[in-house]
Every structure is written in C-alpha cells, then in structure tokens.
Amino acid sequence: MKIEVANRLKHVEEYYFSKKLREVRELISEGKPIINLGIGSPDMSPPKNVLEAICEASYQENAHGYQSYQGLPELRKAMASFYLKNFNVDVNFNDEVLPLMGSKEGILHISMAFLNEGDAVLIPNPGYPTYASVTNLVQASPVFYDLREENNWEPDFEAIEKLDLSKVKLMWINYPHMPTGAAGSDDLFKKLISFAKKHQILLVNDNPYSFVLNQKPKSILQFEGAKEVAIELNSLSKTFNIAGWRVGMVLGNAEVLKSILQVKSNMDSGMYFGIQKGAIAALNLPDSWNIEMNSVYEKRRQLVWNICDKLGCLYDRKSTGMFVWAKVPKGKNENEISDYLLYKHDVFITPGTVFGSNGEGYIRFSLCVKEEKIEEVLKRIS
C-alpha cells in the first residue's frame, strides 16, 4: 500500500540530529568510542529535592489522572514568581503564563495559532532549525534575516526593512542566541519592539539559555511596550537539567496566550502531575543552583576553548550559553572539520550550516560533556 504523505511534509526533512544521531549510534555499536559534543542535552542531574518532589507526588492519590490544560495554579504561580525574581517582570499567573510540555512544542502551538498558509515568518539565520521547519509544517513561508559576526549576531534593521514584509505576521528571535552565544543588547530589544509595533508583527523571544554562563539574564518582557507586541518562551530543560521531562512556558499578552491555549488544549491532555510538582521545586531553587552549574560549565568551556586553539579555530570569550561557537581556520570548511573529528577522532560536533547558511565556516561544541571526556578529545587531536 502506498499512501502519499501530506503536502506539509514535502518541505520538511527529518530533524538533523534525529538522522545524525542514528549514524553516531551505529558507530558506537561498531565499537567506536564516540564522544558526543554535538547536542545540548544537559548531562548533570537535577538536585535531589527536585527528584524527591516528583517521586513523592507520584504516590499521591490524584497523581495519575488527566491534568488541567493550563497546568496547576501552583505551577503557574511558581513560573510567575520566577519571572518576577529573575527578570523583574510581573505577569498575572492566571492568564499571562501558560505551562508547555517543552518550548519546542510551543513553537508549533504558536505557529498553529497565528499562521495561515501563505503568511510569512521572519527567522534568524543562523538559528534554531525548528523555527523554519515548523513554519513549513504549517505551510507558511520562512523569510530569513541575516545575523552576522561583525554585527554581534544581531539583526541589521536596514536590511530587514528592505525585505518584503507585506505578508510577515510573526518574527522569531532568540537571545541569548543559539548557536552563536550572543547575549543581545538592551538596545536591540528596544529596536525589536518598535520594529514589531511599526509592522504589526508578533515578536516571539525564545529564551531557554538565559541562565547558562550569562552574566545578565534578560527577558524581552522587561522592556517598555513589550507586552503589546511580544511574548516569550522559556524552558526548564537547560536551566534545571530536566530536558527529558519536557517543561517549558510561554508568557506575555493574555489574549495571545488564550489563542495558544485554544490550540494546545486540543493537542494534549495536560502535563503529568509529578512533573508539575518537580518543576515547582526546580523553579523555587535558590540562586546557588545556577552558580554551581555555571562553575562546572565554565571549566568545560575553558577546555573546549583549548580544543579550538589546537584546531586553529577562533571564538568569542564573551559569548553566553551551553555551546562554544567557533570560526574554522581560513581554507577549511565546517563539514571538513566535523567529518575529520568524527571519522578520524571519534568526536561528534555540529557543523554550523545545520543552523542556516550563515553558519558556513563555523562549528558548534556542546558543553554537556564531562571534563574528563573533553580532556580525552584534547588528547586525541593533539
């Protein structure tokens, strides 16, 4: 039987990491001692009290039924307090915050809520590949805007104004930026808000890396006028080492969130009670948690910088996040270096073009690998 796939799949490929990790697993099964510096899945555990919270909640009588589509009020309150404490952003826990089962899923919910076939979406190049693939899935059209090193990986508004913006309804931004680690300046956020106002575009800041090696965590919602045009996605995946639990949130304008809930409530039947209880415990952790995590990431980053030095790659010591984004030496390209590391040294890293054409000439290293392993990589390439 041959059933033709839906048209929406015609412009979407299987996710790069879904394919590439299959190859990496095959290499491992052949006995290759692969070290995976490719993906940003935190390798450390969440703290004990967070694990205890999920375990204890699992024994409660009401734990295993369907849950509210909007999450427990207690979870929404914890998310709102987290934003107030960390970003000085005041959101109403009733209708200005919506828990999500991962922020990646939120990208689809938002796109389904606001995009029709033929609408256009501004997407950063380089950027998280899901923005473009989800745009294609809902049969809207990606309009890529360039981010370049000489501009601190911030958009060039003059260049964007020259694009055809007539059909643009939504713009994805992601500061601190993945993969480059650019923090995003206050001035940038202000310009983005007035740009979105001028063109009546829904601005979405995807903000999962705010607490990783970042001196000054920011939210777009702390800037004047943001709630009129912008919403923000955040995630507990990287901040609390619970990527597999799938907990994220979207915050901002109540009307916008209502439309997202309209989609979401038709797609899932609530987040597992125990996960919600664990998430509340995580959101209430003291600042010492981030300090502890960042001291580990800092040591790892120094070692990855040493690898870059050995490979002749350049990097920015002021960048943020759980990756090192490095420029390959003149005369080499990103695929040559990543293939060389994978097939010669059993080290998996990500070529920059996975994130768009402006990733040409760059490679990305994840910091989600123990120091001993990173030292082993250094030994292998020396």
Ligand X SMILES: Cc1ncc(COP(=O)(O)O)c(C=O)c1O
Footprint of ligand X (CB under 6 A): 40, 102-104, 128, 174, 178, 206, 208, 235, 237, 243, 248
- What Rg value do the Cα atoms of the chain yield, rounded? 21
Q: Which is nearer to ligand X, 165 or 257 (CB)?
A: 257
Nearest Cα residue to 179 out of 378, 361, 11, 332: 361
Q: Kindly list the distances between the CA atom of residue 303 and the CA atoms of 84, 97, 160, 371, 379, in Å, as whole numbers in the listed order.
A: 35, 38, 38, 8, 11
Q: Which is nearer to ligand X, 17 or 223 (CB)?
A: 17
Q: Which is nearer to ligand X, 248 or 270 (CB)?
A: 248
Bridge partners for 125 per DSSP: 146
Pick left, alpha or beta for residue 326 (phi over 0 → left; psi -120 to 50 → alpha; otherwise beta). Answer: beta
Tokens of 55: 């375990």
CB of 364 to ligand X, least distance (A): 11
Name the residue type at position 46. Answer: P
Handedness of CA 99, 100, 106, 108 (dihedral sign): negative
CB of 108 to ligand X, least distance (A): 10
SS3 295: helix
- ∠ at Cα 312 (16, 298), nearest 5°? 70
Q: Which is nearer to ligand X, 180 or 346 (CB)?
A: 180
Q: Which is nearer to ligand X, 40 or 359 (CB)?
A: 40
The torsion angle over the Cα atoms of residues 354, 206, 266 and 134, rounded to 10 degrees, is -30
CB of 380 to ligand X, least distance (A): 26
CB of 368 to ligand X, least distance (A): 10
Tokens of 354: 């996975």
Bridge partners for 233 per DSSP: 206, 250
Count the residues in the chain. Answer: 382
Q: Which is nearer to ligand X, 40 or 274 (CB)?
A: 40
Q: Which is nearer to ligand X, 136 or 174 (CB)?
A: 174
Largest CA distance in the chain: 63
CB of 103 to ligand X, least distance (A): 3
CB of 281 to ligand X, least distance (A): 18
CB of 287 to ligand X, least distance (A): 21
